[in-house]
Amino acid sequence: MKTFKNFIAGKWVAPATGQYFENRNPADTTDVIGRFPLSGPEDVDRAVASAQDGFERWKRTPAPARGDVLRRVGDLLTERKEEIADLMTREMGKPLAETRGDVQEGIDTAYYAAVEGRRLFGHTVPSELRAKWAMSYRRPIGVAGLITPFNFPLAIPTWKAFPALVCGNAVIFKPAEDVPHTGTAFVEILLEAGLPPDVIQLVHGAGEVAGKAIVEHPGVALISFTGSTETGRIVGETCGRMHKRLSLEMGGKNAQIVLDDANLDLALEGVLWGAFGTTGQRCTATSRLILQSGIHDELLSRLLDRTRELKLGDGRKEATEVGPLINEAAREKVERYVEIGVAEGADLLCGGRRPENGKLADGYYYEPTIFARVEAGSRLEQEEIFGPVLSVIRVETPDEAFRINNDVKYGLSSSLYTRDVEVAFRALSDLDNGITYINAPTIGAEAHLPFGGVKATGNGHREGGWEVYEFFSETKVGYVDFSGRLQRAQIDNYPT
Ligand code: ADP
């Protein structure tokens, strides 16, 4: 079995703990990818010390030169797109079409970041005093700890690492335990592109040990975290206590609303992709389908037909439409929620079980599942499941649909299918989400727009687009007085 290493202080090294964990293919658990370090606080200490050295150098490298490294990263990701997609599907399970998209998102993010190295705009504004300049500009912050989930093994690390690096920070990266191979390939590419070795540190391991040690380390100035709301709360408490800058991206309970006047063909394609793409394991996955009563029965019946035909299987086989869940704990969580749904009296119309007759028995498969007559306010309707389970809710009016959309603790994405432009624009302003799609599913964020959610989904920051650069840099203001005398703001420029 292949043994992988951490990348700390410019070298590929074994963990100080001497301990490892196994990484297996979720589509076939007899396929072992390798063993990866179970790092401890000592490994994190060494990574932080080296990253602090790296930061001192990197922050003085001109931002356009930092961007040039990311352009080369984009080129290398483009060359290796197929190879990375394949290794990603092997450890994460989603079909190749999706892992190719995951790599493409990394490529897009790289080229965006490369150009941002020539922008990183501040403002120059008039001073209220004569012969004086006033301007704001951006400075790097320090060592950034990046903690990422399993569902976008490359894209999410790139969303965090590229802006962090272009802004002049050093990075400590801890990939999710289920996808350490993609994390390793990512760091290899950063190094090959010419990133100074002490500017990137890769520390594998368990969240509660290695992740926790990064969050709690006084030498790590900022944390960018994507994962569950429960873990985000723990990370947030520590960062609050230690006054660390923190970006959180957490759970969702996203709804697709379909009104009576919608194009049903389009709405059907949208919900199939939104609910069962990535086996429902996206933070933007559609887990609620809110149907207006006039089209409820027709759309539901067409949806059931199509869902029963979805091809479950190994994501590395081209015909596969839905891969396995990431691990047994994820599958058991889905099973618990199916039991909850049944106990709450919702109608289980399809799925609700593992594949039968020993089919696909080597992987963490679960059949795409649909519940109808789901009550607004029930646990099935309110809580994040992170699996292929869709709850269908019937409503009479757009207002009722909007209210149900908003009446959950999360606020990541929402989707509305209608041909009525007035209702569409009302949705854009009234739905409590960070992203609203009109006539498109709840998933599909583009790398050059801000991404994030409101309420329990996030803490006000955004990833992607132009906004993430604000998170990874500190605004500083400079005044230059060339009048040759003391000029007192608010005093000398007004008559007494
Ligand atoms: P998910 O269920 O999406 O994997 P988690 O919140 O469990 O979400 O994990 C997201 C990331 O957070 C993973 O990299 C995991 O190792 C890490 N993590 C888990 N617990 C902690 C913790 N206490 N402190 C820091 N990181 C953690």
As a whole number of angstroms, the distance between CA 47 and CA 70 comes to 22
Ligand 1: residue of 21, 44, 147 to mutate (most ligand atoms within 8 A of CB) is 147
Pocket residues for ligand 1 (CB within 6 Å)? 147-150, 174, 176-177, 207-208, 211-212, 215, 227-228, 231, 234-235
- Range of the structural domain that residue 208 is part of: 6-250+458-478
Q: Are residues 292 and 225 in the same domain?
A: no
Q: Are residues 31 and 147 in the same domain?
A: yes
Q: Is residue 15 part of a domain?
A: yes
Pair 354, 366: CB distance under 8 Å: yes
Nearest protein CA to atom 9 of ligand 1, as residue: 227
Q: How far is the CA of 225 from the centre of ligand 1 (A)?
A: 8
pLDDT at 458: 97
Q: How far is the CA of 226 from the centre of ligand 1 (A)?
A: 8
Q: Is residue 219 part of a domain?
A: yes
Q: Is residue 484 part of a domain?
A: no
Q: Is residue 488 part of a domain?
A: no
List the Cα angle 471/405/453 in 5-degree steps.
5
Q: How far is the CA of 239 from the centre of ligand 1 (A)?
A: 15
Q: Are residues 334 and 393 in the same domain?
A: yes
Q: Is 301 left (phi over 0), alpha (psi -120 to 50) or beta?
A: alpha
Pair 270, 417: CB distance under 8 Å: yes
Q: Are residues 193 and 260 in the same domain?
A: no
pLDDT in tens, 32-68: 999 999 999 999 999 999 999 999 999 999 999 999 9
Q: How far is the CA of 149 from the centre of ligand 1 (A)?
A: 7
Nearest protein CA to atom 16 of ligand 1, as residue: 207
Q: Which residues contact 141 (CB under 8 A, 6 or more apart)?
A: 167, 169, 221, 222, 245, 472, 473, 474
Ligand 1 atom index nearest CA of 205: 16
Token pair belonging to 39 = 């790092």
Q: Is residue 125 part of a domain?
A: yes
The 8-class DSSP code of residue 284 comes to: T
pLDDT at 239: 98
In angstroms, the Cα distances linking 17 to 6, 77, 202, 275 are 12, 32, 15, 41
pLDDT at 495: 85
In angstroms, the Cα distances linking 383 to 205, 252, 330, 352 are 28, 8, 14, 17
Nearest protein CA to atom 15 of ligand 1, as residue: 207
Token pair belonging to 276 = 């069962």
pLDDT in tens, 438-467: 999 999 999 999 999 999 999 999 999 999
Q: Are residues 387 and 470 in the same domain?
A: no
Element (H, E) at 475: strand 474-481
Residue 76 CB-density burial (10 A; 0-12 exposed, 13-18 middle, 19+ buried)? middle
Catalytic residue selected from 283, 321, 384, 463: 283
As a whole number of angstroms, the distance between CA 277 and CA 171 comes to 31
CB atoms within 10 A of CB 491: 8
pLDDT tens, the chain, 496 aa long: 999 999 999 999 999 999 999 999 999 999 999 999 999 999 999 999 999 999 999 999 999 999 999 999 999 999 999 999 999 999 999 999 999 999 999 999 999 999 999 999 999 999 999 999 999 999 999 999 999 999 999 999 999 999 999 999 999 999 999 999 999 999 999 999 999 999 999 999 999 999 999 999 999 999 999 999 999 999 999 999 999 999 999 999 999 999 999 999 999 999 999 999 999 999 999 999 999 999 999 999 999 999 999 999 999 998 999 999 999 999 999 999 999 999 999 999 999 999 998 889 999 999 999 999 999 999 999 999 999 999 999 999 999 999 999 999 999 999 999 999 999 999 999 999 999 999 999 999 999 999 999 999 999 999 999 999 999 999 999 999 999 999 999 999 998 8
As a whole number of angstroms, the distance between CA 126 and CA 132 comes to 8
Q: Are residues 133 and 211 in the same domain?
A: yes
Task: Determine the 3-state secondary structure of 138 from DSSP.
Answer: strand
pLDDT in tens, 147-157: 999 999 999 99
Residue 485 CB-density burial (10 A; 0-12 exposed, 13-18 middle, 19+ buried)? exposed
pLDDT at 152: 98
Q: Are residues 137 and 165 in the same domain?
A: yes
pTM of this structure: 0.97
As a whole number of angstroms, the distance between CA 103 and CA 3 comes to 24
Q: Are residues 371 and 428 in the same domain?
A: yes
Q: Are residues 93 and 168 in the same domain?
A: yes
Q: Are residues 258 and 246 in the same domain?
A: no
Nearest protein CA to atom 19 of ligand 1, as residue: 207
Residue 350 catalytic?
Answer: no
Q: Are residues 241 and 264 in the same domain?
A: no
Buried b (16+ CB within 10 A) or exposed e, 247-271: bbbbbbbbbbbbbbebeeeebbebb
Backbone angles phi, psi at 158, to 5 degrees: -70, -35
Pair 187, 37: CB distance under 8 Å: no
Token pair belonging to 139 = 């400075």
Q: Is residue 114 part of a domain?
A: yes
Ligand 1: residue of 91, 186, 229, 231 to mutate (most ligand atoms within 8 A of CB) is 231
CATH code for the domain of 359? 3.40.309.10
- What helix, strand, coil percent values describe the chain, rounded to 5? 40, 20, 40
Residue 283 catalytic?
Answer: yes
Q: Is residue 38 part of a domain?
A: yes
Q: Is residue 278 part of a domain?
A: yes
Q: Are residues 101 and 227 in the same domain?
A: yes
> What's the order of all strands across the beta sheet hosting 6-8?
11-13, 6-8, 200-202, 170-174, 143-147, 222-226, 245-249
As a whole number of angstroms, the distance between CA 494 and CA 183 comes to 59
Token pair belonging to 429 = 């302003």
Catalytic residue selected from 249, 321, 367, 463: 249
pLDDT at 50: 99
CATH code for the domain of 119? 3.40.605.10
- How many separate domains does the chain show? 2
List the Cα angle 55/60/66 in 5-degree steps.
85
As a whole number of angstroms, the distance between CA 288 and CA 390 comes to 6
Nearest protein CA to atom 8 of ligand 1, as residue: 227
